[in-house]
Amino acid sequence: MTLIIAQGAAILAYLPVGIVASKIGRKKTIIAGVIMLTIAFGAAALMNSDTPTMLMNCMFALAGIAWATINVNSFPMVVEMCSGADVGRYTGFYYTASMAAQVVTPIFSGFLMDQFGMRVLFPYAVVFVALAILTMVFVKHGDSKPTAKKGLEALDEDMD
């Protein structure tokens, strides 16, 4: 049920997350998603069988929204970083890194769970999601470029 809640929240978040990213930028949006995911996994690490179901469901919904926030913006950011001729190469880099992580993490987290039990899973996730914030700090390119206003729209200025 928790995965259905997380996936449902992600599906509901896809469009709003794209709109937010167009307003504040992909990098800031991804960092916000990584922070939300860190909070959700950190809270999950502290939960046990006595934790209210509603609280658990809220944390998994937050995790789904956070995951959507990261995923919706990651690949477009990669594409923005390269020229048209390099899109294939950068797409290859992106998916190679992503798939490598998807191969390595079940093996490594499984080893840790064998050594320390299931309780190590969410702290493990917190560590690696927090490391994602560190990598995003070093990203300097890939945000969406603002489009130039045309016609009368160019004369419109906000008075706020």
pLDDT tens, position by position, 107-119: 999 999 999 999 9
Say whether pLDDT at 156 is over 90. no
Neighbours of 73 (CB within 10 A): 26
Q: How far is the CA of 155 from the CAs of 22, 150, 151, in angstroms?
A: 21, 9, 8
Q: How far is the CA of 107 from the CAs of 47, 86, 101, 110, in angstroms?
A: 24, 32, 10, 5
What domains sit in the chain, N to C, each tagged with a CATH number? 2-142 (1.20.1250.20)
Q: pTM (2 decimals)? A: 0.81
Residue 144 confidence class, pLDDT cut points 50, 70, 90: low
pLDDT, position 127: 94
Nearest Cα to Cα of residue 105 among 131, 134, 79: 131
Could you give the CA distance from residue 40 to residue 136 in angstroms, rounded to a whole number? 19
Task: Name which residue leads in pLDDT, 152 or 80.
Answer: 80
